[in-house]
């Protein structure tokens, strides 16, 4: 993944670390990679890179617990259900299924990947 931005690399690393049967929101991913406000970019990375990097994109959902409403929604729901995540009315119960890694876990996952610095790195 040479030539990729720290934001890209941190997103890929964190999403790969989401355990089976757990979910996080796009905003949580942005927060955990020290780039709050980058939820849309996280979404873009997942939609453009999930196949190439074999990402568990289906574990990233909206901040309200809703799963995707576009053509991937059936695939996302199916994959989550296989992992034991219950979906009711196109929504995941975040109290039950939300992944909440510790700061130490996140530090370990992102070890060696520099932080994104707006205006300095793309």
Question: Residue 45's domain spans which residues?
Answer: 6-108
pLDDT in tens, 40-80: 999 999 988 878 888 999 999 999 999 876 655 578 999 99
80 three-state secondary structure? helix
Please check whether residue 12 lies inside any domain of the structure. Answer: yes
Chain length of the chain: 122
- Considering the domain boundaries, does residue 120 fall inside one? no
Does a structural domain hold residue 122? no
Residue 121 lies in a domain: no
CATH number of the structural domain spanning residue 90: 1.10.10.10
User: Is the four-CA dihedral 47, 53, 57, 62 of positive or negative sign?
Assistant: negative
Count: domains in the chain = 1
Q: Is the dihedral of CA 50, 84, 30, 74 positive or negative?
A: positive
Within a domain: residue 119?
no
Q: Is 32 helix (H, G, I), strand (E, B) or coil?
A: helix
User: For 99-121, how does the pLDDT look when each residue is reduced to its tens digit (9 = 90+)?
Assistant: 999 999 999 999 999 987 665 44
Question: Phi and psi (nearest 5°) for 113?
Answer: -100, 120
């Amino acid at each position: 993944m040479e030539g990729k931005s720290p934001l890209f690399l941190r997103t890929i690393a964190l999403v790969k670390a989401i355990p089976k049967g757990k979910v996080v929101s796009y905003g949580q991913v942005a927060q955990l990679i020290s780039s709050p406000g980058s939820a849309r970019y996280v979404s873009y990375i997942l939609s453009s890179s999930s196949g190439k990097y074999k990402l568990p994109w289906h574990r990233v959902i909206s901040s309200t617990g809703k799963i995707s409403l576009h053509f991937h929604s059936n695939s996302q729901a199916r994959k989550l259900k296989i992992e034991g995540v219950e979906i009711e009315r196109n929504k995941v119960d975040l109290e039950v299924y939300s992944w909440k890694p510790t700061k130490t876990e996140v530090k370990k996952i992102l070890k060696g990947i520099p932080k994104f610095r707006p205006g300095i790195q793309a």
